[in-house]
Structure 1
């Protein structure tokens, strides 16, 4: 029973529209639009042959050609053909990061205020544990206490603690100690939730290769920051592995302080991407480096928990209620 609960409730991705279904839909729309545009083009060409004034028909023909390219571009982007989506997202996120960093440097919000925003309980029915930030991936999510419900997962990230050793999740995880498990949605958009932890949107590689489950080192050495009322915990990513959705042993207790992040793989949603990180250093709010404290300034930095087609609501960052200050 536990594997089933873990598979269904941890990410609820079975309820999110199938990516294969989306591909078929885009292909169908592309085919229909192309056929319609071709038919209109043929009709226009015939009319042009009969009319002396062809400016109107030229405009119509150009519009049809533009429509075809627009639909084709959308298809390429949504399905990340030739890594079009990855490339576009990289440049957009790089620009957003630069802009937000500049704004944060100019802001004078106190550390005490930032700590209060981090621990503000903004979701009814849930208990706040803190925040997670992965600067290199533009990830900033609140951490709540229920990875096994829609309510918890739709609010952001949640600690996940139902393992082989603790099937009921009786032991509450503690940041900076043991195996701290986190779970969050992957919306396959390269941005929302933990989507940015997948190397390439809508591509199973490198996590599944010819039916074999493999890992990836593409994020190795990158920093993950956890924050709660006590301070900031710096973890360093040591690798990614791929497991079936039913494998809960990744959450088993460990003596060494480490972080385990669980998110879905797309399009093969029966698997999970496990991002592993080791605790590097712990800071109090007073002694933490400015750059780390700045990562949790919700007055200047956007959070990325919600996507309108799935879980619309108010973000906790600068793109929402600014940590309750807006």
Structure 2
């Protein structure tokens, strides 16, 4: 869980989205230029107009890649809004509940030492990740999310946590791209604020009320986020046992990766696969929903969602 990801190249979509935005901008500029031909009859004036448009385009491009005024965060917000709409639409597609449950528990790599625990879905942030059983190795975290169970009471993590009971801890990488792993749980892409300001550790309420779903062989567990806080990377107290059923998600803060963002939520519903709402079942339909556990530049591999082997159906 203390493994650090370098601030690397980003995922394919994190590259494509700014390019799409820039292409739209280029189309608008082209329209302006076309109008400019009518406005400017003299070639000298038209040349100045073209130069101005080139400068503006270059400023926008540089602004994105330097994250000027949080431009990268704005682009990823647009992406997440569109991705969330697609998730809700895809979740309505009919599918066998039994088949979804089988896809959720399928072990993509049965010969390795890691054991599949289920899946986590946060539809409002376009997060869908498999859950495995070792948050304390880079190999485990490279697979997606993993349960985290080393506490003050159990420093060696001998107790296996149970979904829907006590304090269930989860950890995954923050790839600093607003999309992969638990990256989308950081309020502002590649900015410490509001979690770390003037040396003070703060929290955030920006995700309060959002729902998180865990799924395993027994059913689906619905949690509601109550807040975020920031802790030192070695603070295991956030995982200590609790009488109340809650979920604690831990991910790195970027760029100050010596700190961790802790997202806390409370259990509100526990569904069997037979009784869960159809929409909730649809969040785990790996035949149509994309997963974002892997980045080609860091932990390449086959996704378990529709953008990979689709729960073993491809």
When normalised by structure 1's length, the TM-score is: 0.80
CA distance in 2, matches of 1:168, 1:177: 20
Aligned twin of 1:323: 311
Q: Deviations over 1:129-170 (max 9, x none)?
A: 000001110000000001111111011000000111111100
The aligned counterpart of 1:310 is: 298
List structure 1 segments (4+ residues) > 3 angstroms apart after TM superposition. Answer: 61-66, 68-75
Moved more, 87-96 or 259-268: 87-96
2:233 is equivalent to residue 234 of structure 1: no
Q: CA deviation at 1:242?
A: 0.4
Against the structure 1 CA distance between its residues 127 and 75, is the aligned structure 2 distance closer, same or farther, given a 3 Å change threshold? farther
Q: Tell me: CA distance 1:89–1:119, structure 2 relative to 1, closer, same or farther (3 Å).
A: same
Correspondence for 1:12:
3
Distance 1:244 1:18, change over 3 A: farther
CA contact (8 A) 2:115 2:133 kept: yes
Q: Distance in 1 between matches of 2:196 and 2:173?
A: 19
Give, in whole Å, the separation in 2 of the partners of 1:253 and 1:270.
Answer: 24
Q: CA deviation at 1:101?
A: 3.0
1:142-181 equivalences under 5 Å are 142-181=130-169
Equivalent residues of 2:7, 2:175 under 8 A apart: no
Q: CA deviation at 1:65?
A: 7.5
When the two structures are aligned, how many residues end up with a matched partner? 277
What are the superposed Cα offsets for residues 109-144 of structure 1, whole Å, 9 maximum, x if unpaired?
Answer: 200000000000013331000000011100000000
Task: Give the TM-score, by structure 2 length.
Answer: 0.82
Change beyond 3 A, Cα 1:260–1:103: closer
Taking structure 1 as reference, are residues 267 and 92 closer, same or farther at Cα in structure 2, changes over 3 Å only? same
Residues 16 and 70 of structure 1: is their aligned pair in 2 closer, same or farther, counting only changes over 3 Å? farther
1:111 aligns with 2:101: no
Inter-partner Cα distance in structure 2 for 1:300 and 1:142: 15
- Per-residue deviation, 1:81: 2.2
Taking only aligned residues, the RMSD between alpha carbons, in angstroms, comes to 2.3
* Matching residue of 2:106: 120
Structure 1 unaligned regions, length at least 5: 1-9, 20-53
User: How far apart in 2 are the matches of 1:232 and 1:71?
Assistant: 48
CA contact (8 A) 1:11 1:185 kept: no
Instruction: Identify, as 1 or 2, the structure richer in helix.
Output: 1
Q: Is the 8 A contact 1:11 1:184 kept in 2?
A: no
| 3-state secondary structure, aligned to 1:293 | helix
Asked if residue 283 in structure 1 is aligned to residue 271 in structure 2, the reply is: yes
Deviation at 1:73, TM superposition (A): 3.4
- Picking from 44, 63, 86, the partner of 2:73 is 86
Q: Please state if 1:265 is matched with 2:265.
A: no
For 1:70 and 1:321, how far apart are their aligned partners in 2?
39
* Range with greater deviation from structure 2 (299-308 or 117-126): 117-126
State the partner residue of 2:38: none
- Contact (CA 8 Å) 2:146, 2:170: kept in 1 or not? yes
